[in-house]
Structure 1
Amino acid sequence: MTATDAPQTEHEVESLQKSIAAGRPTAMRLTQLLDVQAFGRLLSEKGIAVEISYVVVTAHQ
């Protein structure tokens, strides 16, 4: 899965950095693109999104 709610502005980047440094929870949206195939042919692609409202991000050095 890939986190897709990347900060878009400098303010959002600073806010996320402060949340990580303080260990405060933040919201995160994760997405996964799935291929639907049958008989070796791609029928469709489906995106699955999961929104999590309480995530504590930690940074490892």
Structure 2
Amino acid sequence: MLQRQTNIKKLAKHGFDALILGAGINGAVSAASLARKGLKVALIDKGNFADETSSNLSSLA
């Protein structure tokens, strides 16, 4: 929890072109795409990055 608070405080000290809320597959791909284009991106999530992204079974099987 302490590390999370420290990281949140760091966000206020830097300027970003984009802030992505949610680090699931859509957030991660969006952040990567914007960063690849040269934008400064902040990616935050309420839990661990990509946590539970693939933990549920797909209905595609």
Calculate the TM-score normalised by the size of structure 1: 0.30
Calculate the TM-score normalised by the size of structure 2: 0.30
Higher helix share: 2
